[in-house]
Amino acid sequence: MLDEIGFSAAAKWLVDGFSDRSKIAVSLDIPTDLKLPRELELTLFRVLQEGLTNVHRHSGSNRAEVVVAVKSGAIVMTLRDYGKGMPETVLQNFKTSGAPSGVGFGGMRGRIADMDGTLDLESPEQGALLRVTVPLAKNILLAAVSSSAPSPVGTQSRSGSEQSSASSPSSGLHSRDEVAQ
């Protein structure tokens, strides 16, 4: 699905479906034209899935907010709920030892670490805040290199035409076809 519609549309689909099923109102603020490397889109989508699941299972909140933005050369995704929050002991253990309080946090942290990113968890006065930050430059460069590397029989686009390897990895701008290959 991500290959066809991209992360922005997939996140909207996920949030809308989650809200309908859980009856938790979720607002989503995400650029509609966001184009990211395929692996990064998949990672963010999986983290969003797990984060929303945690909101439903543990928070007791009737609303949540998801914000995705590009800031200072990184993609930042936050998920905030207004439920019962997290015990201080769980937060301290998560921050100091990196030990997850459950399988979900460990999986999210591992996925983000694979992208050289960070996952932060806070419990403000009410609720919980999950913040994911992933640097874009390295991830876009890796996607560009892997998508433009010639194969033994040449690289083909989805339309079957010859693919140029002249994309500028430093520009960070790639077509959906280039990023999805």
The domains of the chain are located at: 2-135
Q: What is the pLDDT of residues 23-43, one digit of tens each?
A: 999 999 999 988 899 999 999
Amino acid at 157: S
Q: What is the pLDDT of residues 115-137, one digit of tens each?
A: 899 988 888 778 999 999 999 97
Q: CB burial class (10 A; 0-12, 13-18, 19+) of residue 37?
A: buried
Query: What is the CATH code of the structural domain delimited by 2-135?
Result: 3.30.565.10
Q: Which residues pair with 156 in a beta bridge?
A: 162
From CA 136, how far away is CA 64, in angstroms rounded? Answer: 26
- Report the percentage of the chain scoring pLDDT > 70: 71
Cβ atoms of 14 and 52 closer than 8 Å: yes
Q: CB burial class (10 A; 0-12, 13-18, 19+) of residue 170?
A: exposed
From CA 93, how far away is CA 35, in angstroms rounded? Answer: 35
| pLDDT of amino acid 129 | 93
